[in-house]
Structure 1
Amino acid sequence: MSPRTKPPFRADHVGSLLRPAALKDARDKFAKGALDPAGLKAVEDREIEKVVRKQEEIGLQLATDGEFRRSWWHFDFFRGLQGVEMISAPPIKFHGVETKAEAIKITGKIGFAGHPMLEHFKFLKAHCRVTPKMTIPAPSTFHFRQGRAMVSKEVYPDLDAFFADVANAWKQAIRAFYDAGCRYLQIDDTAWAMMCDPKEREHSRARGDDPDRLPAIYREVTNTALSGKPSDMTMTMHSCRGNFRSTFIASGGYEFVAAELFGKVNIDGYFLEFDSERAGGFDVLRHLKGDKQVVLGLVTSKSGTLEKKDDIKRRIAEASKFVPLEQLCLSPQCGFASTEEGNVLAEDEQWAKLTMIVELAQEVWG
């Protein structure tokens, strides 16, 4: 079988990596006022260079910065947009644990006028010998968790105008990353998978939205955001059911959104969570249109226990009944540290999993 020379790669990963002790220590000192911004950046730079080298050493064809400059997978991007205010709010409840008490509120017109993460990407690119991969949250995640309740009715009496501005802001962001040299950009999208859980749909209604209409709305917003993507830029979407300290929020297969997500969203590839029964079966992939790649998230990032290769190969074979093997790739089901706290496993266990994914890709696809 022919090797993949463009992303997503046969052996890939979602993006975030466990923060090393030196970085955690520096961020703690910075929060306490014992380290200035320049001192923190110096530590971040050093640790990012190390983690890029490590990804290259184990044989990956891509490298991310591990999201080492972020505290959250999404809020750090959101707060760099116009019209967004960070507020204290009840923590997000995962199974058995809660996040920090932060949320966003839309208090002005949404816009994009540059972003600190553009410089973050440039640093990554300058230190990569492989393909540099950047990750940002998807436009639908800017709405789903907050919903109508967190969007100012004075600024946006009509949510159609809100969604139009969100789509345009992401469209500008995508172009800005392209102009910065990014050719592999991933949008992280928990909203699609969350909607597959009836409980989460009820929460959505309580926030003032109609979850039955959201898949079509999110498809339109995403496609509008992607409409200006240059042809030599690969964009993928990662979708999961929550990832914080090895816990989760939602359960349920992709069937509720499959027709819209896999058949009508103009993305180049999907990173899909399939590491547990909570994610449902592969039959939903029958809705896939065209030659899009599906990156199977069969290796869990929530536990340090290393999967058996034969088990993973068997599941890849099962998925190939619905999607040709040529269109399949392999990765963990999510990042290892969607927030700076990280999942409950050791760094050597993280690297063992990524190394195994590289080995499996060689064994399955050649």
Structure 2
Amino acid sequence: MAFSAAPRRAEHLGSLLRPTELIEALNNNVDAETRQEIEDRGINTIVNDQVYLGFKVINDGEYRRHLFWGSFFESLVGFEKVNLTESTVRKYLPKVKALLEYKTDTTLFCSGKIRHSGSSPHLREFLYLKSILPPNQIGNIKITIPAPHWYHLQYQEGQAYSKDIYASDDAYFKDLAAAYQEELRILYDAGLRRVQIDDPDLSYFCSKDVLDAWGLDQTNSKSTLELLTTYVNLYNDCFREVKPDMHIGIHVCRGNFTDSRYWSTGGYDMIAGQIFRDMNVNTYYLEFDTHRAGGFEPLQFLPADKHVVLGVVSTKSSQLEDLAELKERVMHAARFISKGNHITLEESLQRIGVSPQCGFASHSRENRLTKHVMLEKLALVKQLAESIWPGQD
């Protein structure tokens, strides 16, 4: 699959620190009209901040969401809220551990045939951004969307859907992919050209702890390699009807809790060959802020027609990184792309962008950094890009 829209040299991953006014509104359960007014004011401000800093790709900070994955699954026909039952989930997965620790009472379960309802929460987000930006910037609006298997992996095998509705994962994923195809069509027809899929679950396939626990779980009939292949095929089915000028990126997230915990340790070596080669996306947003993500060596498997955005600036620490060290790390990454594709360093640099490693506020309670520090970090990302690709963004 070839895409005509390339990533920008400097990006961020979508979620940005919410203003105090919005956090208080969420905590106090204000009425819908008042909340929307507060969201609009916050979005106007954060969009102006992005424009002032020089970012071309613009997002609303996910200010209309409580959690980074938003309410897309709730908008689909076929999903309902149910009580979280420990006996049906994979308790060894970090995200499930978090759900249980935070005493989350409910989750979503597929109790009926999945189909798109015709209503898109992402469309509302896009249309507001479209209304406040000049026409020449509309193509740079980026909307973040949750991974299609988000409510699949957390359940034990065969427990993510009613057996009266779907006889197998294949049938479940077929309808789920059709719903994603419709979502992307709706957004494209409205003018959206940039989509970022947020997928923390893919990082589990890099984790020795998770892989070991998976092997001990006797409810699993598939190996992790087989499941990864299943998810890659699901993604490709979701993107099957995407137009060539719609840029699709996937963020392999490693978790971004308030207390700076993370979900996965381990390099991309375990998954790079398969997701780079077989997944029909244009860009990979990868976290490289600490040693937990391993080295840049897996980038040698990045195909010649794809891009990577290196998440080298941390959203977990208030310490500002050194520009010269960041630049050298980007050059180091470029050397592996150059080696793997037999191209020059300059050519490999054309396949790279830079960003923070994750969003700054994956959920509405997160404010581990001040807004001042966040803006400093974003400014550093832009400065880093300008130092490597002067005048290109």
Same fold (TM over 0.5): yes
One of 27, 32, 42 as aligned partner of 1:47? 42
Whole-angstrom distance in 2 between the partners of 1:187 and 1:195: 17
Residue of structure 2 equivalent to 1:234: 247
Q: What is the CA-CA distance between 1:147 and the residue it aligns to?
A: 4.7
SS for the counterpart of 1:79 is helix
Instruction: Tell me, in whole angstroms, the C-alpha distance in 2 between the residues paired with 1:99 and 1:61.
Output: 40
- Tell me which residue corresponds to 1:314: 328
1:146 deviation in Å? 3.1
What fraction of aligned residue pairs are identical, expressed as a percent?
36
Deviations 1:216-263 (A, max 9, x none): 111111111111111111111111121121221111111221121111
**What is the 5 A alignment of 1:143-222?**
143-148=152-157, 149-202=159-212, 204=214, 206=217, 208=220, 210=222, 211-222=224-235
Structure 1 residues 182 and 209, CA, compared in 2 at 3 Å: closer, same or farther?
farther
Q: Aligned match of 1:332 in 352, 356, 377?
A: 356
Alpha carbons 2:96, 2:154 under 8 Å: kept: no
| More divergent stretch after superposition (101-110 vs 327-336) | 101-110
Answer yes or no: is 1:297 the counterpart of 2:311. Answer: yes
Task: Please say if 1:285 is aligned against 2:294.
Answer: no
Question: Alpha-carbon deviation of 1:6?
Answer: 4.9
The more displaced of 336-345 and 272-281 is: 336-345
Letter of the 1:106 partner, please give it: C
Encode CA deviations 1:264-322: one digit per residue, 9 max, x unaligned. 11101010011111111111112211321100000111111111111111110110112
Which structure 1 residue ranges, 5 or more long, are not aligned?
Answer: none
Distance (Å, rounded) in 2 between the aligned partners of 1:15 and 1:147? 30
Q: Give the structure-1-normalised TM-score.
A: 0.92
**Distance in 1 of aligned mates of 2:208 and 2:330:** 28
The Cα shift of 1:75 comes to 4.9
Match of residue 82 from structure 2: 87
SS of residue paired to 1:42: helix
Deviates more, 1:103-112 or 1:177-186: 103-112
Q: Which amino acid aligns with 1:107?
A: S
Confirm or deny: 8 A CA contact 1:7 1:184 kept in the other structure.
no
- Judged with a 3 Å threshold, the aligned counterparts in structure 2 of structure 1 residues 47 and 209 are, in CA distance, closer, same or farther, namely farther
Summarize the alignment of residues 250-289 of structure 1 with structure 2, pairs less than 5 Å apart.
250-289=264-303
Give the gaps of 5 or more residues in structure 2: 87-94, 338-347
TM-score by length of 2: 0.86
Q: Secondary structure at the match of 1:19?
A: coil
* RMSD value, Cα: 2.0
- Distance in 2 (alpha carbons) for counterparts of 1:175 and 1:268: 17
2:349 alignment partner AA: L
Question: Would you say the 8 A contact 2:122–2:143 is kept in 1?
Answer: no
Deviation, structure 1 residue 204? 5.0
Q: How many residues get paired?
A: 357
Whether the 8 Å CA contact 2:5–2:246 is kept in 1: the answer is no
Q: Is the 8 A contact 1:188 1:239 kept in 2?
A: yes
